[in-house]
Amino acid sequence: GQQVMQIPQYQHVQEGEDFTTYCNSSTTLSNIQWYKQRPGGHPVFLIQLVKSGEVKKQKRLTFQFGEAKKNSSLHITATQTTDVGTYFCVINSGGYQKVTFGTGTKLQVIP
């Protein structure tokens, strides 16, 4: 099936610093979703991107879909301790029924 690489695997930042995680695919994607999983919790949907070059913002979070629809990024401005967790990009294949998660980026925010 389709594969997606997510980097970095881990990131430690001081509270107030920015954070970015990247998702890369070797094939053109129809869409990409981002989920967040808090420690001990379950994945929670954040956003979906569909259009080439699309940029969406949610408060301090900025999501971008590459022009070629092969990569995506999630940027957090001025991290807070509430941002702690693992961020996953998710792609769909097989008519949207099959789902592939990226390996995730675990964010730790140091107060």
Residues in the site for another protein, rule: CB under 8 A? 1, 6, 9, 31, 33, 35, 41-45, 48, 50, 88, 92, 95-104
Closest CB 47 distance from another protein, rounded Å: 10
Closest CB 95 distance from another protein, rounded Å: 8
Closest CB 18 distance from another protein, rounded Å: 24
State how far the Cα of 109 lies from the Cα of 3, in Å rounded to an integer: 28
The secondary structure element, H or E, covering residue 19 is strand 19-25
CA distances from 19 to 5, 33, 79, 106 (A): 17, 18, 7, 11
SS3 of the chain: helix, strand, coil, percent, to 5: 5, 55, 40
Closest CB 111 distance from another protein, rounded Å: 25
Cβ distance to another protein smaller for residue 12 or 98: 98
Cβ distance to another protein smaller for residue 56 or 77: 56
Summary count for the chain: helices (H), strands (E): 0, 11
Cβ distance to another protein smaller for residue 43 or 85: 43
Cβ distance to another protein smaller for residue 20 or 31: 31
